[in-house]
Amino acid sequence: MNCETRFSCPFELTIELIGGKWKGLILWHLLDKKVLRNGEMLRLIPKITQKMLTQQLREMEENGLVNRVIYEQVPPKVEYTLTSHGEALSPILNQMIEWGIDYAQDKNIVIACGSH
């Protein structure tokens, strides 16, 4: 995203940065685990493809939500963490989790994952 991109309101910008099927899940797992490698994320989000995970991480890195650290070793090791902007999403993500729990209970929807 470049500086010249215009948004009609702050909500539109926020949704642009964290919206979609996968970004919220990636952010949530990084918030919970603090540091994750690519393979760990694939295990935590089994329905995401490698290509989509890479694309989403790249976008979030470019937008300053995720840090990528590459360790010079064999085999190569890459770790992902949240930036301060990513960590600042914690209250929003936690509220979304609470809302999802309440909604699921009210509608008798089974959630198969553990709570974080």
Q: For every one of its 116 residues, what pLDDT tens digit does the chain have, with 9 covering 90 and above? A: 666 778 999 999 999 999 999 999 999 999 999 999 999 999 999 999 999 999 999 999 999 999 999 999 998 899 999 999 999 999 999 999 999 999 999 999 999 865 44
Q: Which domain holds residue 102?
A: 10-107
Beta bridge partners of 36: 80
Peptide bond into 76 cis (omega under 30): no
Sort strands 77-82 and 66-71 into parallel, antiparallel or unpaired. Answer: antiparallel
Domain assignment of residue 5, yes or no: no
pLDDT at position 110? 95
Domain assignment of residue 22, yes or no: yes
Counted domains in the chain? 1
Domain assignment of residue 66, yes or no: yes
Give dist(CA 19, CA 28) in Å, integer: 13
pLDDT at position 42? 98
**CATH number of the domain where residue 39 is located:** 1.10.10.10
Three-state SS at 70: strand
Domain assignment of residue 4, yes or no: no
Give dist(CA 116, CA 101) in Å, integer: 12
Chain position carrying tokens 């996968």: 22
Domain assignment of residue 114, yes or no: no
Domain assignment of residue 112, yes or no: no
